[in-house]
Each structure stands twice: as structure tokens, then as C-alpha cells.
Amino acid sequence: MQPPSGLSVFDVPDPTPLPSAPLLAHWAFEAPLLPVLFLLLAGAGAFLFLNSRARLRDASLAALGAAIAAATLLISASLVTTPRETLRELTRSLVAATARADGPAVGALLAPECVLVMPVSHRELGPAEISDEVSQRIREFAVNDHALLELQAFDENNRFARVQVKVRVSASQSGPVLSWWRIEFENDGAGNWRVLRITPLAISGLSGV
């Protein structure tokens, strides 16, 4: 069977992307380096402009103000962790624990009512079965390398959120396997996000996922 147009034999089609983060929250808390650089360049430009007109005091104040604003932005970003950042970190932990066949670590990230939809059969596994599958079958698969190629996070509200992640896994007895997964999270009300549902979206070499 030929792969879809534009895909290699081992690649998988991308799902519909999740909504992007609000721009203000993204640039202020998740990726502040570009705004900080802009502020510093603006301060330097203002200093050079005003100093060239013999307004050294105004030039110094402008540069100082820009530096203070940049520092404030960096400090704020370091103190604030957005829900999307938390979800990304939890997803990295989930994938890493799965790759090393650490069933108990995976189980610790799951909600009591969590469900994993198995590829092809679409059978649903609960938390205990998921931990057992990870400890036994993933260990047999003998993963020797894994990587997160893409990671999208979207917090729908204060209680529910979704992640889509593209993973590459290499094992001792097979070549690289690419897959897309949707992971749904639920907040327990105390600020703790737990995995509620795991669904395969596409897996290289498998049809009918």
C-alpha cells in the first residue's frame, strides 16, 4: 500500500492541529525571550537616538526603563507556569515512563477512570491494565530510543484539556515507528492534572487505528 501523498513510508498523517495559545499568555509567560529582546533593542535604539541629540539623561532613563521592563517580564515568566506548560511536561513524563516500561510511573499519572483505546481492536483498558501493558509488552518491545517530534496542548477550561503528541520510537527488533496520540486530561480541582483518556490517531505500519 502506498503512503498518502507527501508522506514517506514510515511517516504518518498529521491530525487537525489544536487551537493555539492566546498570544499575550504565550509571549508573556511561555516564550518571553523575543519580547525581552525587542525591549532591549528598543531601549538601545532610544538611548542612541536621544544621546545623539545631547539628551543623555533622557537617553539613560529610556534605556533603564526598557531594561527594567525586560527584567520584569523574565521574572514574571519564571514565576508563572501556564496550564499548557504543565500539560506538556506531564506528556513528556508519560512518554518517557512508557518508553522505559515503567508501569507504576505511568499509573501515577492516570486518573482512576482513565481509559486507553487500543490500536486496531479499539478495546479499552483501565489504569491497572495500562500499567501492566506498559510493564510487560513495552519491556518486550525493548525500546532503545524515543523522541517527541511535535507536542500541542490546549486547555479547554479549568477542568479539561487535550494534548496531541507525535512520537518516534525505535526498538532493538524493529526500525523507527512514528505515531500520533491524543491525550485528554482532567483537573482534580486541587490543581493536579491527570490523564483521562489516551487515543491513538495514527501509527506507521498500522491501518484502521
Contact 87, 155 (CB under 8 A): yes
Average pLDDT over residues 90-100: 95
Q: What is the pTM of this model?
A: 0.78
What pLDDT is stored for residue 201 in this prediction?
94
* Model pLDDT for residues 136-171, shown as the tens digit of each residue: 888 887 788 899 999 999 988 889 999 999 999 988
What pLDDT is stored for residue 28 in this prediction?
76
Whether CATH 3.10.450.50 fits 83-203: yes
| Residue boundaries of the structural domains of the chain | 23-79, 83-203
Phi-psi region of 205 (alpha: psi -120 to 50; beta: other; left: phi over 0): left
Residue 159, C-beta contacts closer than 8 angstroms, at least 6 positions apart: 186, 187, 189
